[in-house]
Structure 1
């Protein structure tokens, strides 16, 4: 691509620490609720509410498909400044009304997720209750998280500053997930009744999740307004074409499809592992239920520490090289988990730390690449479509996760998974169940991570190309 190098961008001040801090805090809600749903919703369904694993998997698949289907609409509406088709006041910007509108219902529905409204005998009543609550929770999760993540491209255009901004975001994200896991472990130790354990965790974490959303809006509005003025000629040119036509154009963007591949492969591995760890820890390694948060804490804690390290390395060698390094460590760790035996606790936590080295790049790299891709798309199409691109990423991720969790839970039912009971709280599982769990935590995520390296190899946007893209956009802006 031949891009002129003579144009110069008009000056714009760097982001302040307080703005980065406020933006990062906005991801606490998604992280806290996300890690708890991912790690504990399936065990809650199967082991506490005693919903059949197949129905538990079907619930999560239906919800993910629903979430995925509404994501593109919410992304496009937020691009156009609409809430469910109604125009919003310009002074709020395009993204903030969605976040404010969603915050309170988001927290309340999360609490409802941990209720047990029907006895075990009423399997279909439980199925439809959890499906409805999960669909509503997923809707409000999306209406908060999609506009929030789309803010990245609207707060800064600088290649390295975006990586820095995302390091703040995921510092809070990983920190929030660590806090949630610590709360879960404490409640598991202090509260005896399993149903009360999960409900207590839900109430505490709902409060922790909602408040930072308001802080994010308050702390970033001034910066967003400044950058929106700077981009005013472009921001107004959102794409009026129909949804399917816009989606078709996405598939012609090679850089975006590479980012999608990187994101799907790394997050599929992360989410599949997080979902299966409670079963792996208890059934395969013979650990108590309260210890499963410690395994995830080792991964998330290492990832948190490594965020700033990878951010610095990225500024020297680029985003692609950082992803290669991190994913290499991670793939080795996932393969090692398949071979772990009961009693090998030192090896377990060593592999968790090794995985954390790579998990931090899964948080940092794809979300730092995506704003660069959005500007390449703007250069090629003349449209500014952050919401569409972010929603399409979420669309694919949710479909992938829904299918993965449903298949894992269905495989547990097919292989004869045994529910815990008051008399036998940790039943011995059949060999077929143990094999299904080991495959889900070892070979499958490893293969997925290796596939992600292939997508990273073909990702085309370097720091130099991105600078040229910005120069061309600046020249176009002056001519308009």
Structure 2
């Protein structure tokens, strides 16, 4: 057999790679990348609206509009980054290099998005738009290749579920760090000295900038470690060349991908409405904003515990069924807050912990299933576009984040929320307090329940997955 014929067969093989068991070291290394991302993502989820209204100085409506408008760029930018990443060729692979190339811009953009300049009101609005747009561009340019890397790190679906488990354990650990330390770091960095102003007061503008700088530098180093400890096993050169029209056509004909897009969008929409209300809930209804950090950390630790059981539970009852159960548990947990009295902190915490534990497998399964969808697309179309599939997935997540954060801003404005004036807290009306209560309970619960219903249309079952894996291992002669 000639060398040319061997190479031709290799190029035509639909899937070249290894489904070997990955080392704990590599899985943990991959997980550190999402810890890096969550230093930003969890900050967006919990503190972004608060930062723009109470620290940066925008009205809730202006902040909400800004977060919504900037996503128009994401609609164009994300698929382009995924398409480019699919066609990147380096000795390190096609996705890993971006973890090095974009880590420094990612850090710098994060720092300056949380900087409050001394500008006129209109000047601050322009700065907010430009800095946040730049931040989300850099976020996409590193996070889309990072997410796509999971689709080529192994050819085995259950092994990818294991990798996804490590990913989200580290991601939620990063979230715990943000939830627990952010307000303390803001206070520490922003506390004025005895000789400046009033001793013991906190400049939150300074505090948030240096807190985000700390997270940004840590994220940069974590992405470097992720690059050094992982490798790509499903090689891109074995897939037949395709045009962007073909790739987009394949994507639009991928029914399971649409289902996961809708699921992820609804999940994030609920999460960001709920997350945006948490600080206001504990500050104005419970009377102590510091409780929020403990509440968030307790939920994240419970989620991590639930994540650790994901692989075994998915093997026992299937990914789809487990993800539906997780979503419904989150819906029930959120809805219950509407009826629990704000002074019943033990019940508030207990139900939150239980819901978070059962809901823990959800994000693990979602991204493992996106990798399955990439395999399904290749199996169906004989072409692979992992980067495009994951970029579209990331866009749905970011769009859910944007709509959720914007909705939180619009709702606060609609409910009559009065932000501090010159650092002085304003009294909130009963209508505002009821609105905040709705935002942390019934409204997100409706979106979580709707996401569970979406999964009824997901058609890739465990039997189909085994067939896909088997077929993709066979070389095409």
Does the alignment reach a TM-score above 0.5? yes
Cα 1:416–1:378 change in 2 (3 A) is: same
Map of 1:452 onto structure 2? 451
Structural RMSD (CA): 2.2
Residue in structure 2 matching 1:38, options 36, 39, 45: 45
Residue 268 (str. 1) matches residue 269 (str. 2) = yes
CA displacement, residues 1-27 of structure 1 (integer Å, 9 cap, x when unaligned): xxxxxxx99975321121111111111
Residue 69 (str. 1) matches residue 70 (str. 2) = no
CA contact (8 A) 2:329 2:358 kept: yes
CA displacement, residues 13-60 of structure 1 (integer Å, 9 cap, x when unaligned): 321121111111111111111111221121111112221111111221
Map of 2:144 onto structure 1? 146
| Separation in 1, partners of 2:317, 2:105 | 43
| Separation in 1, partners of 2:47, 2:176 | 14
Map of 2:311 onto structure 1? 311
SS at match of 1:69: helix
Map of 1:469 onto structure 2? 468
Structure 1 stretch 43-52 or stretch 143-152: which is displaced more? 43-52
State the TM-score, normalized to the length of structure 1. Answer: 0.89
SS at match of 1:26: helix
SS at match of 2:94: coil
| Separation in 2, partners of 1:59, 1:270 | 19
Q: How far 1:232 sits from its partner (Å)?
A: 4.5
Residue 398 (str. 1) matches residue 398 (str. 2) = yes
Structure 1 stretch 296-305 or stretch 454-463: which is displaced more? 454-463
CA contact (8 A) 2:266 2:400 kept: no
Q: How far 1:328 sits from its partner (Å)?
A: 2.5
Q: How far 1:433 sits from its partner (Å)?
A: 2.0
CA displacement, residues 416-464 of structure 1 (integer Å, 9 cap, x when unaligned): 2211246743x32122322332222222211112112222223222222
Q: How far 1:257 sits from its partner (Å)?
A: 1.8
Residue in structure 1 matching 2:238, options 221, 233, 240: 233
| Separation in 2, partners of 1:269, 1:33 | 18
| Separation in 2, partners of 1:10, 1:398 | 31
| Separation in 2, partners of 1:10, 1:396 | 29
CA contact (8 A) 1:64 1:401 kept: no
Residue 340 (str. 1) matches residue 340 (str. 2) = yes
CA contact (8 A) 2:302 2:356 kept: yes
SS at match of 2:70: helix
| Separation in 2, partners of 1:458, 1:52 | 40
Map of 1:84 onto structure 2? none
List gaps (5 residues or longer) in structure 1. Answer: 1-7, 82-87
Q: How many residues are paired up?
A: 452
SS at match of 2:360: helix
Map of 1:199 onto structure 2? 209
| Separation in 1, partners of 2:157, 2:445 | 30
Map of 2:117 onto structure 1? 117
CA displacement, residues 207-236 of structure 1 (integer Å, 9 cap, x when unaligned): 211111001111113xx1x442xx7523xx
CA contact (8 A) 1:284 1:341 kept: no
CA displacement, residues 134-183 of structure 1 (integer Å, 9 cap, x when unaligned): 11110111000000000111011112111100001011100111112222
CA contact (8 A) 1:32 1:209 kept: yes
CA contact (8 A) 2:20 2:154 kept: no
State the TM-score, normalized to the length of structure 2. Answer: 0.89
CA contact (8 A) 2:269 2:444 kept: yes
SS at match of 1:116: coil
Q: How far 1:125 sits from its partner (Å)?
A: 0.9
Residue 440 (str. 1) matches residue 462 (str. 2) = no
Q: How far 1:93 sits from its partner (Å)?
A: 1.4
CA contact (8 A) 1:46 1:53 kept: yes
CA contact (8 A) 2:270 2:404 kept: no
Map of 2:107 onto structure 1? 107
| Separation in 2, partners of 1:188, 1:342 | 26
SS at match of 2:311: helix
Map of 1:259 onto structure 2? 260
Cα 1:227–1:247 change in 2 (3 A) is: closer
SS at match of 1:91: coil
Map of 1:48 onto structure 2? 55
Q: How far 1:283 sits from its partner (Å)?
A: 2.1
Residue in structure 1 matching 2:226, options 216, 219, 230: 216
